[in-house]
Chain A
Amino acid sequence: MDLTPEQQSIRDAVQKLCVPFDDDYWLERDRSEEFPFDFHRAIADGGWLGIAMPEQYGGGGLGVTEAALMMHTVANSAGAMSAASAIHINIFGPHAIVVFGTDEQKQRWLPPLIRGETKSCFGVTEADAGLDTTSIATTARRTDEGYEIHGKKVWTSTAQEADKIMLLARTTPKEECERHTDGMTLFYTDLDRDYCDVTTIPKMGRASVDSCEVFVDGLPVPAEDRVGEEGQGFACLLHSLNPERILIAAEAIGIGRNALARATEYAKTRVVFDRPIGQNQAIQHPLAQSWMELEAAWMMTMRAASLYDSGEPCGLEANAAKYLAGEAGFQACTRAVMTHGGMGYAKEFHVERLLREVMIARLAPVSPELILCHIAEKALGLPKSY
């Protein structure tokens, strides 16, 4: 599990890049809810958005292992999930384009994404479908020029800033399809605000990176903006699900380790009853537990990443990594707040912010409960429960 010298350079370079964006910078963004444009620009200027994109389109051509390492480092910085989410979708979101896009599409879409000139967002989730993706109600109807899309998406991150949207829509009603996963088509197209209404959802954490509802009303999409075959959208999307889980896991661990480091430092220096509180086992043990949980989750994450990069199936490991990391990150942040006592509730100590930030990794992109169902079914061979 040791990092190669190249991986170490990636970690070190990303770490250095994050340093100027310190606690104050992100606390201010947490208050103002302003998108971290200058952070996004710094990451784009370093070429980092293209870490997992093919070299011929200006990317780094590296694997999900390196991407996870990068996102871990970003999330481990003061920016936590806000920093990660400001760039996350650009790292593996366009993966469907890489795998299923034509050369013309890749040439048209990838270089500006990698340079950070266009920002994309992901319109897959719907309120009435949730994790039952095949039940989405957004439809794409054939027209002379291509398609016309109607529907509404929810929890689309960065939709307020994005120029492009990756949209999943039904081109054939579910009941007419042989398999539920058929009949959906993937599009990557302009987020044209004449046809799309984007509303920000007020939420718990990650204030500077918006999550939105996107109402799509008759959005015309040219045929050349369709990714892959008509009706094969779900299959196109599947390719990016495991990398996404691996990245979220890495991010949760990054945030958890940050919280643990802050809690440890506080426990060493805070003196009550003439001794540092960190000398008390009631303080030590939960922190030691978090260290173990985070290390174990990291190993599972790296295992999943290495399987993915060598072309092996990694569904179980990617899901397990996301579960373990989501829980470990959440626990570490909770314990960090508790270790700080009353101070943990104060914004100036930042651990309450980390706790709000880490919650996403526990909830999304798939709930811990559904992962347990998946593991029970696929790893243990128990009957499908949902």
Chain B
Amino acid sequence: MNVTVCVKRVPDTETRVRIDGTGIETTGVKFIVSPYDEFAVEAALRTKEAAGDGAVSLLSLGDASTAESLRAGLAMGADSALLLTADVGLDGLATAKALANELQGSDDALILFGVKAADDDQQQVGPMVATLLNRPCVTGVASFEVQGDMAVCHREVEGGVEVIEVDLPAVLTITKGEYEPRYASLKGIMAAKRKPLEEKEATSVPERLRVDRLSEPPARAAGRIVGEGPDAVPELLRLLREEANAL
């Protein structure tokens, strides 16, 4: 069972982001594989292990430093990686097209994505690639298993679990479910050096989304005192329910 996992290099989620006009200041920022994509890599490795054969390939679109993130995935246990070099912006469709151009000829039974990238949170690229490749797509998959020519996917929905059966080949986007990513072992890191990591230029796809300006969210307003003692409870409840949507 061959699986391709598309991964994205993003700033470490613990980084304190500073804005630089239309992007973020990258000096001194640590980059990691997007955590949702790590779930997808873990899911792919388990799928391969359960099948007893096959290969897990990684695919990424990004600048040359993205190779480091791919090495991290190889160290987890993926078999090979391909980096499509490009300047990546915020246009999900442009990213999806560049990836789909590469994946057009792929006969891998599964193409996995993280449910979203931890930096731009758009949740677009997975479903778009599926559409471009004319494959079925299940998003937000918390766990799945392959049964013959089909994947049985579990999605966590309000108050229950939705089970979706999808024909292979398919595209799945994986969310935080049961796929706690494994640690890279020393052997994995050593082996990663010898695994194939190919780099080539991405097919050029013009970005149609332009960032004019990026700014910090407004500072949080001070708290509000709604009253004192038990008399304030009804009003507090009303605000929590109607304004904060917390109840």
Contacts and interface: CB of A to CB of B under 8 A. Distances in A.
Interface stretch (A42-50, A80-88, A163-171, A243-251): A42-50
B183 A6 contact: no
B187 A60 contact: yes
Interface in B170-193: 183-190, 192-193
A5 interface: yes
Q: Interface on chain B toward A: helix, strand, loop, or mixed SS?
A: helix
Contacts of B188: 13
A5 B68 contact: yes
A16 interface: yes
A48 B68 contact: no
A13 B185 contact: yes
B189 A6 contact: yes
A9 B183 contact: no
Contacts of A17: 183
A6 B193 contact: yes
A50 B187 CA distance: 10
A51 B187 CA distance: 9
A207 B188 CA distance: 33
A13 B71 contact: no
Contacts of A61: 190
A241 interface: no
Interface residues of B, number: 14
A13 B68 contact: no
A261 interface: no
A89 interface: no
B11 to A, nearest CB: 15
A338 interface: no
B72 interface: yes
Contact of B183 (A16, A50, A55, A60): A16
B10 to A, nearest CB: 15
Given A46-B185, A46-B186, A12 B72 contact: yes
Counting chain A residues whose Cβ lies within 8 A of the other chain, the interface size class is 10 to 19
B75 interface: yes
Contact of B75 (A9, A45, A48, A50): A9
A103 B109 CA distance: 47
Contacts of B75: 9, 13
Contact of A60 (B68, B72, B190): B190
A68 B230 CA distance: 60
A10 interface: yes
B127 to A, nearest CB: 30
B27 to A, nearest CB: 15
Contacts of A51: 186
The interface centre, meaning the residue of A5, A17, A55 with most chain B CB atoms within 10 A of its CB, is A5
Nearest to A43: B186
Given A9-B72, A9-B75, A13-B75, A45 B185 contact: yes
B71 A47 contact: no
Interface string B74-116: 0100000000000000000000000000000000000000000
Interface string A13-44: 10011000000000000000000000000000
Give the most central of A10, A13, A17, A48: most B CB within 10 Å: A13
13 contacts: A5-B68, A5-B71, A9-B75, A9-B184, A10-B189, A12-B72, A12-B184, A46-B183, A46-B185, A47-B187, A48-B185, A55-B190, A60-B187
Given A5-B71, A48-B185, 16 more contacts: A8-B68, A9-B75, A9-B184, A9-B189, A10-B189, A13-B183, A13-B184, A13-B185, A13-B189, A16-B183, A16-B184, A17-B183, A46-B185, A51-B186, A60-B187, A61-B190
Query: 8 closest Cβ contacts across the A-B interface?
Result: A47-B186, A13-B184, A46-B185, A47-B187, A60-B186, A47-B185, A9-B189, A17-B183
